[in-house]
Amino acid sequence: MATQEKTVENTQLKDIISHAKEYGFIFPSSEIYDGLQAVYDYGQMGVELKNNIKNLWWKCMTQLNQNVVGLDAAIFMHPLVWKASGHVDSFSDPMIDNKDSKKRYRADVLLEEKAAQYENEGDVEKANALLAEMGKLLEAEDLDGVRELIIREGIKCPISGTANWTEVRQFNLMFSTEVGSVADETNTIYLRPETAQGIFVNFLNVQKTGRMKVPFGIAQIGKAFRNEIVARQFIFRMREFEQMEMQFFVRPGTEMEWYNQWKETRKKWHEAIGIPAESLRYHDHEKLAHYANAAVDIEYKFPFGFKEVEGIHSRTDFDLTQHQELSRKKLQYFDNDLNEEGKPYGNYIPYVIETSAGADRLFLMTLCNAYTEEEITEGDNTKSRTFLKLHPSLAPVKAAILPLTKKDGLPEKAEKIFNDLKFDFNMIFEERDSIGKRYTRQDLIGTPFCIAVDHQTLEDDTVTVRDRDSREQVRMPISELKNYIEKAVSFKSIFEKLG
Ligand code: GAP
């Protein structure tokens, strides 16, 4: 018997999108009304997978790091927060419209796609030169120069096929709404475009009440909202999404050391959840955000190319300084440890290293990485199988309990096993259809173990356990099931890789 797997590169995004829909991972939002662009809902399997990813991230941040604690700040914040952070004035994307198709595009994305095309054609030098030139123009806020570059590169609108472009304009990405019953400007508040600011404004609350000493971090998971104009590639770029962010407060002057440390730790985390090292890479930012003095993306090789899943940013003391100025409340930390000269550091505003991952992008990465099609040849017969090779600790369902038939007391026996294990694991009990069909259904949602209850079970209290990836079956006593599953699905193996 031989098996052959299809690689991620050969997998089409459209296969993954239809798989996600068909097996209850992701549905278009408000689908019965034809959906809402760039907004998605997580179905019965999707919510489990996403919760597992978030839970793992949370535990890795807070349980593995004694000096990182959690927070859950509100989505609505005082409007001055976004003035202080710079989002009101400069959280915008350079947009360009095609006059013929009336379609709007992100100017930088058009150029990045052109660079990716050069790279795919093997001309990495040309790709890098284009990205460097774009970076310089954006840095200098030379929007006319960006337009000229688009025209010089012969970039055309994919809808109209023409290069009849408008000028490039900046477009603010924040959603606004009003609080209270009177709609005037003073009541305007924003849906947060990043979770980070909730951490900054609570920096002293947490530091004081938790008696935290620099260096320390605050982690948070929550929704963020951006009025993305170019919303494509499924859940990669959404208008409502979830971030998993951690701000790590350090002594001024030590930030590059911590930046490098977190950069490495975070890449290791992605590898620990089963993403192959060759599918990940760093991408240093050409154009730094208004708050950063160093920034790198961790990119994953999606079916549509290497794209960002997480950013690590050295945010200096920009945010805390800005909040101190606008709120007129001191946001300083008193450091009573000694410096190299043996003197107390005294008061300072800490520098910040941020790790910022998108829960939805990690979800898409996990799904793309797990989606496997294989050909199985047995003698003259070749059949194909699709399954999700998810890390067992992330799989939505850990085990399925399957009585071989609906009679002879097998369902009752199987139900007892299910009832004993359901307190420990998310499981499925299924008695409909042939056992083969039931195995297939579990493969498609990535369940690592299928436990078959047969007539021998009634005699000797043993069951067969089928492994999702190898399809091999082992017979084991019911009393060993809990430890067997626990060993595979616990976060411990991941924790151990992270030290
Ligand atoms: N606090 C820093 C910050 O927000 P960012 O690079 O704009 O930085 C961080 O966003 C992460 O959030 C990205 O790496 C990505 O995973 C996720 N993200 C950003 N915009 C997104 C969108 N429109 N849809 C889904 N995820 C998004």
Q: What pLDDT is attached to residue 294?
A: 95
Domains, in order of start, for the chain: 2-76+188-367 (3.30.930.10), 92-172 (3.30.40.230), 390-497 (3.40.50.800)
Percent of the chain surpassing pLDDT 90: 84
Q: What pLDDT is attached to residue 7?
A: 52
Q: What pLDDT is attached to residue 135?
A: 87
- Mean pLDDT across 124-138: 92
Cα R_g (the chain), whole angstroms? 26
Q: Which of these, 277, 73, 279, 104, lies nearest to 194 by C-alpha position? A: 73
Q: What pLDDT is attached to residue 2?
A: 57
Confidence of residue 10 (pLDDT cuts 50, 70, 90): low
- Mean pLDDT across 122-130: 93
Position 185 pLDDT exceeds 70: no
Taking only the tens place, the pLDDT of each residue in 255-289 is: 999 999 999 999 999 999 999 999 999 999 877 87
Taking only the tens place, the pLDDT of each residue in 65-106 is: 999 999 999 999 999 999 999 999 989 999 999 999 999 999
Beta-sheet strands, E only, within 339-412? 344-348, 351-358, 371-378, 381-388, 399-403
Q: What pLDDT is attached to residue 309?
A: 98
Position 295 pLDDT exceeds 70: yes
Q: What pLDDT is attached to residue 394?
A: 98
Distance from the CA of 288 to the center of ligand 1, in angstroms? 15
Distance from the CA of 471 to the center of ligand 1, in angstroms? 38
Q: What pLDDT is attached to residue 342?
A: 66
Confidence of residue 290 (pLDDT cuts 50, 70, 90): confident
The CA distance from 462 to 410, in Å, is 12
Position 248 pLDDT exceeds 80: yes
Burial grade of 120 (CB within 10 A; 0-12, 13-18, 19 or more):
exposed
The CA distance from 433 to 438, in Å, is 7
Position 4 pLDDT exceeds 70: no
- Cβ 1 vs Cβ 376: under 8 Å: yes
Minimum mean pLDDT among 243-247, 375-379, 416-420: which range? Answer: 375-379
Q: Tell me the average pLDDT of the chain.
A: 93
Q: Atom 16 of ligand 1 has which residue's CA nearest to it? A: 358
Q: What pLDDT is attached to residue 337?
A: 84
Q: What is the pTM of this model?
A: 0.90
Ligand 1 proximal residues by C-beta, below 6 Å: 194, 196, 226, 228, 237-238, 241, 243, 245, 308-311, 354, 356-358, 360-361
Distance from the CA of 379 to the center of ligand 1, in angstroms? 49
- Cβ 300 vs Cβ 266: under 8 Å: no
Pocket test for ligand 1, best of 269, 356, 366 (most atoms within 8 A of CB): 356
Taking only the tens place, the pLDDT of each residue in 135-148 is: 899 888 899 999 99
Taking only the tens place, the pLDDT of each residue in 308-365 is: 999 999 999 999 999 999 999 999 999 988 777 766 678 999 999 999 999 999 999 9
The structure tokens 């920034």 sit at: 295
Confidence of residue 183 (pLDDT cuts 50, 70, 90): low
Pocket test for ligand 1, best of 82, 174, 233, 241 (most atoms within 8 A of CB): 241
Q: Atom 19 of ligand 1 has which residue's CA nearest to it? A: 358
Alpha helices in 102-228 (DSSP H): 107-120, 124-139, 143-152, 196-201, 203-209
Distance from the CA of 401 to the center of ligand 1, in angstroms? 39
Confidence of residue 180 (pLDDT cuts 50, 70, 90): confident
Q: What pLDDT is attached to residue 182?
A: 66
The structure tokens 């006593």 sit at: 477
Position 51 pLDDT exceeds 60: yes
Position 9 pLDDT exceeds 60: no
Position 451 pLDDT exceeds 60: yes
| Alpha carbon 446 to chain centroid, angstroms | 19
Confidence of residue 493 (pLDDT cuts 50, 70, 90): confident
The structure tokens 């616990």 sit at: 490
Pocket test for ligand 1, best of 240, 310, 361, 365 (most atoms within 8 A of CB): 361
